[in-house]
Amino acid sequence: MIDINLIRTNKELVKENIRKKFQDQKLPLVDEVEELDKKFRSLKQEGDNLRQSRNTLSAKIGALMKEKKASEAEEIKAQVRANNDRIAEIEKEEEEISAKIRKIMLTIPNIIDESVPIGKDDSKNVEIERFGEPKVPDFEVPHHADILESINGLDKESAGRTSGNGFYYLLGDAARLETAMINFARDYMISKSFTYCIPPFMIRADVVDGVMSFAEMSAMMYKIEGEDLYLIGTSEHSMIGRFKEQIIKEDDLPIRMTSYSPCFRKEVGSHGIEERGVYRVHQFEKQEMIVLCRPEDSMKWYEQMWKFTVEICRALDIPCRTLECCSGDLADLKVKSCDVEAWSPRQKKYFEVGSCSNLTDAQARRLSIRAKGEKGTYYVHTLNNTVLASPRILIAFLENNLQADGSIRIPTALRPYLGGMEKIAPKE
The DSSP result for 1-69, as a single string, is: ---HHHHHH-HHHHHHHHHHTT-GGGHHHHHHHHHHHHHHHHHHHHHHHHHHHHHHHHHHHHHHHHTT-
Quickly state the pLDDT bin for 215 (edges 50, 70, 90). Answer: confident
The whole-number pLDDT of residue 58 equals: 82
Question: What's the CA gap between 286 and 339, in Å, rounded?
Answer: 16
Q: What angle (nearest 5°) sits at the alpha carbon of residue 396, between those of residues 127 and 267? A: 80
Residue 410, C-beta contacts closer than 8 angstroms, at least 6 positions apart: 401, 418, 421, 422, 423, 424
Q: What is the pLDDT of residues 100-131, one digit of tens each?
A: 999 999 999 999 999 999 999 999 999 999 99
Whole-number pLDDT of residue 268: 63
Q: Which pLDDT belongs to residue 74?
A: 80
68: pLDDT confidence band, cut at 50, 70 and 90? confident
Banded pLDDT at 66 (limits 50, 70, 90): confident
Res. 274 pLDDT band, cuts 50 70 90? low
Q: What is the per-residue pLDDT for 217?
A: 77
CA distance 394 to 278: 9
Region of 81 on the Ramachandran plot (φ > 0 left; ψ -120 to 50 alpha; else beta): alpha
User: pTM above 0.75?
Assistant: yes
- Number of neighbours of residue 98 by Cβ within 10 angstroms: 13
What are the chain's domains? 4-105 (1.10.287.40), 122-424 (3.30.930.10)
Average pLDDT over residues 177-195: 98
pLDDT of residue 294 exceeding 70 = yes
Closest listed residue to residue 183, CA positions, set 420, 414, 340, 421:
414
Read off the pLDDT of each residue in 216-230 and give the average, rounded to a whole number.
Answer: 89
Q: Predicted confidence band at 254 (pLDDT cuts at 50, 70, 90)?
A: very high
Quote the pLDDT of residue 29: 97
Q: Is the pLDDT of residue 269 over 70?
A: no
Task: Show Cβ contacts of residue 355 under 8 Å, excluding neighbours closer than 6 positions.
Answer: 325, 337, 338, 339, 340, 385, 386
Residue 181 neighbours by CB under 8 Å, 6+ apart:
316, 388, 390, 393, 394, 397, 414, 417
Report whether 208 contacts 244 (CB < 8 A): no
